Structure 1
Amino acid sequence: MAEIKIKLMIAVAFGVMLNPLNTTMISVALSRMQDDLQLSFTDVSWLIATYYIGSAIGQPIMGSLSDRFGRKRFFLMGLFLVALASFLAPLSPNLGCLIVFRLIQAIGSSMLYPAGMATLRHVITERQAKYFGILSIFSSTSAALGPSIGGLLISVWDWEALFFINFPFVITSFILTFKYFPKDSKNTDRGYKFDVGGIILFILAITSLLIVLSLKENFHLVWLLVPVVLIFAFYSYEKKQPNAIIDVRSLVEKTEVTVVYIQYMLVNMLFYSLLFGIPTYLQNVHHFQAGVTGLVMLSISGFGIIISPLAGMWIDRADSSKPVVLVGAIFAIAGSALLFTIGNVTSPIVIFLILSILGCSNGLNNIGLQTALYAVVEPAETGAASGLFMTSRFLGTIFSSSILGNVFAKQVTTANFHYIALAGGIIGILCLLLAFRMKPIQKYQYNLKA
């Protein structure tokens, strides 16, 4: 049984890492793709924007459908779509085709995390935090490694390698999934009707939010009314639907779940502000070479990798994730405060040490919030809950791009960089207040097989 659990873990890990890895890996290839395809920066930036939209929308929808129609089926289908998109994308004759294949890749990879996490929770019923801590390395920390991996692939080949690198992970995961995933029960709900209206409203709400927050020079607060109205319309519509794609009523009734989603969004606002903002600052102000910048940035991913399994073991021993989330918030505040000490001549070693504190914070928060979510969500709803959890991550990513767009809009300077530190401090304080609000949860309240 232990061997089966390990192989199942590998299958899920190789699958769930594809979405965050492909989210950030392409960031270092934009200039090369711009030259190769004769495009403007605005044109190629749509390759990132469409991936954000596809992932933010796809995660909860695919999670909800996998709960109903079969997790193994959806996991295998997701791997197939990622493979298909990764094969066709390098052959794209124009930007339009490339964007379509990126969107297919986003949708396919969005099927993997909710179906994979729900399956693991079904099979592994003891010491879940330990396994979630290991999986967190693949589901979250891989995003931090994306730019380093992307830079290496481009240096030895070209931007096409960013798509081909997916195949070893897809093939391995597909074989192990086919062999070790539990079989899906036959769907007997033949009368199920897809929540088409809810899906359309959700797509419009998320897309409008991304577009409005991406506006810089022409941004006006009044534009925020568009996504706000669409979100309200989505909520009003979904609470009346018997087969709602997202159970908005439970978000109101189970406030502890909603608080976890908000915290995870805040954590990722800080994480992605650092992930994309610090390399820009170091290369423009400190004039670090790409290799040095990459090594400095490894502090965030490296310490996240180290701390995640340790945090998982801590949660298993404490029977609660609240202490881990509290410490993660304190580390975020401390690390953000230390960012103010970085100046124009600060050495790479000092910057590395400061960022390592923030890396620990990210590792603690990822596993702490993930475990807190599954402690209060029923097993049958794990797919949908996991999907919303990942949507919270992408909302944080979208908000972080807005922060960076305003901070570095005119010039990249140390003074402007300190605004990221200020934003990080505010985010850390908010996370700390929300962590205090968390209830000490008994060990895996819903730790029963679905």
Structure 2
Amino acid sequence: MTAMTTAPAAFDRRLLPPMLLGTVLNPVNSSMIAVALIPIGLALGASPAQTAWLVSGLYLATAVGQPVVGKLVDTYGPRKLYLAGAVLLGLGGLAGALAPDLWVLVIARVLIGFGTCAGYPAAMYLVRREAERTGAKSPAGVLTALAVGAQTVAVVGPTVGGLLIGLGGWRTIFAINVPMALLCLVLGTWRLPRTAAPRERPRFDVIGIGLFAVSLTALLFFLMEPHVVTLWLLALTVAGGAGFAVRELRTREPFLDLRVLGGNGPLLTTYGRNLLAYAVSYAFIYGYTQWLEAGRGLSASHAGLILLPSFLMAIVVSTLTGRHRGVRAKLLVGAAAQIVACALLLVVDQGTPLVALIGLGLVVGIPQGLNNLANQNAVFHQAQADRMGQSAGLLRTFTYLGAILASAANGAFLGADAGTAGLHHLAIFMLGAATLMLVVIIPDRSLKLVNAQR
């Protein structure tokens, strides 16, 4: 008789639609707004420095909310948080579509930010759960799908936003969230598993969460208007951070266990790389797009189409490299491509042919297709299994810290007219961040261990 062999269990494909949709909601809202900043400013009489709050408001909500929601996902499972986020997303989209002024729009963006916090931690939680159930050491195909969805949607967002604005005005980029929220409710209710309630009611470190939020908020306000008179915000950031550290080290059930996190140097390095990568990426998406409209004189629809090759290149690169080992190699190539793109940005001006602008977008698509994919895989292997939701949330927190830094740089360098000189100053900032990222990657030996675990 021959021994019967049992086929290995496969990833539950029914989970993929809500996972993918939840993962892309934040990136698409982050990037669609890029082509709407100029039209919104003209319609509501707001300067670039003021419309920058539409970007930073969402990022602040996300940076604070992601690890909080990630911890809730680890505790209660993904279903409840996913559905609650969908409700907030719909409310934010409706508020933005009806907003009478800029500051109501900012509130709408904050609601959208909180509403999209659950998608990515929930997805990574489910990937880890399915990996443990099936015995798959690294579900590379699913991780690649999540990365491809998030990074390519972030790039195609300006194109989609430009088309929506061309069809129905800038309010459509808010209104589109209402049907997306309804789809999340349907898919989440239908496909996401129910999770048993914890045996003991967990305690939440409200004070720690509050200090974390105060520190990030103060830092954001300082970066938006860095000046001698706002140095007190920087002092508040430091004081809040110190208080947060003391609180987390002393409390029995911390919001973020700094002892565990501090002892995981590779994971902290991954977070730092992610911040630098997205500081460059979002500075390009917002700064370059504003320059195409204000400095180059293109319409929002045409500016979005100019960025379409970046979306296509990112898809190709991610698809070709997603299942292959070589996290370190992906990061090295991604950082080098960012440096090349920033250098090319220094020679762009009003007379640059459209074909050259499209070519620049192709170069930018390379790191878009590599960096997020590599960092996401690194977190999957470097984070503790029972903290996957929170660790994934923190990855997004550092993503949006980079985006906040990029938004502040856009406001500082592009000024009131988003002209060519400002674009070149922004490119120098981007070049510095891209170079620093490369310097961080080269000596990092822990990335070889990630390759060995895959």
TM-score under structure 1 length normalisation: 0.88
- 2:387 corresponds to 1:418: no
Q: Which residue number corresponds to residue 181 of structure 1?
A: 192
Identical aligned pairs, as a percentage?
Answer: 28
* Matched letter for residue 247 of structure 2: Y
Q: CA deviation at 1:133?
A: 1.9
- 2:73 corresponds to 1:59: no
Q: Secondary structure at the match of 2:307?
A: helix
Cα contact 2:27–2:150 (8 A) shared by 1: yes
Show CA shifts across 1:64-114 (max 9, x none). Answer: 111012222211221232223334543456666554443332212112211
Q: How does 1:121-270 map to 2 (within 5 A)?
A: 121-124=128-131, 125=136, 127-190=138-201, 192-215=202-225, 223-270=233-280
Q: CA deviation at 1:396?
A: 0.4
Matches of 1:100 and 1:257 in 2, distance apart? 33
Q: Which residue number corresponds to residue 340 of structure 2?
A: 334
* Matched letter for residue 160 of structure 2: I
Q: Which residue number corresponds to residue 124 of structure 2?
A: 117
Distance 1:44 1:187, change over 3 A: same
- 2:285 corresponds to 1:275: yes
Q: How does 1:282-431 map to 2 (within 5 A)?
A: 282-314=292-324, 318=325, 320-409=326-415, 412-431=418-437
Matches of 1:426 and 1:160 in 2, distance apart? 36
Q: Which residue number corresponds to residue 90 of structure 1?
A: 97
Distance 1:442 1:402, change over 3 A: closer
Q: CA deviation at 1:140?
A: 2.8
Matches of 1:344 and 1:29 in 2, distance apart? 21
Q: Secondary structure at the match of 2:84?
A: helix
**Higher deviation after alignment, 225-234 or 376-385:** 225-234
**Higher deviation after alignment, 413-422 or 427-436:** 413-422
Matches of 1:193 and 1:8 in 2, distance apart? 29
Q: Secondary structure at the match of 1:17?
A: helix
Q: Which residue number corresponds to residue 3 of structure 2?
A: none
Matches of 2:450 and 2:34 in 1, distance apart? 41
Cα contact 1:9–1:135 (8 A) shared by 2: no
Distance 1:50 1:341, change over 3 A: closer
Structure 2 alignment gaps of length 5 or more: 1-7
Show CA shifts across 1:381-415 (max 9, x none). Answer: 11000110011011001111222222223764444
Q: Which residue number corresponds to residue 25 of structure 1?
A: 32
Q: How many residues align?
A: 440
Distance 1:409 1:98, change over 3 A: closer
Q: Secondary structure at the match of 1:264?
A: helix
Q: CA deviation at 1:370?
A: 0.6
Matches of 1:7 and 1:161 in 2, distance apart? 30
Q: Secondary structure at the match of 2:120?
A: helix
Q: Which residue number corresponds to residue 79 of structure 1?
A: 86
Cα contact 2:309–2:365 (8 A) shared by 1: yes
Matches of 2:259 and 2:402 in 1, distance apart? 23
Q: Which residue number corresponds to residue 102 of structure 1?
A: 109
Q: CA deviation at 1:127?
A: 4.8
Q: How does 1:27-42 map to 2 (within 5 A)?
A: 27-30=34-37, 33=40, 40-41=46-47
Cα contact 1:4–1:180 (8 A) shared by 2: no
Matches of 1:135 and 1:276 in 2, distance apart? 23
Matches of 2:414 and 2:227 in 1, distance apart? 13
Structure 1 alignment gaps of length 5 or more: none
Distance 1:291 1:85, change over 3 A: closer
**Higher deviation after alignment, 390-399 or 299-308:** 299-308
* Matched letter for residue 278 of structure 2: N
Show CA shifts across 1:233-274 (max 9, x none). Answer: 212211222221122222311010000000000001000110
Cα contact 2:92–2:112 (8 A) shared by 1: yes
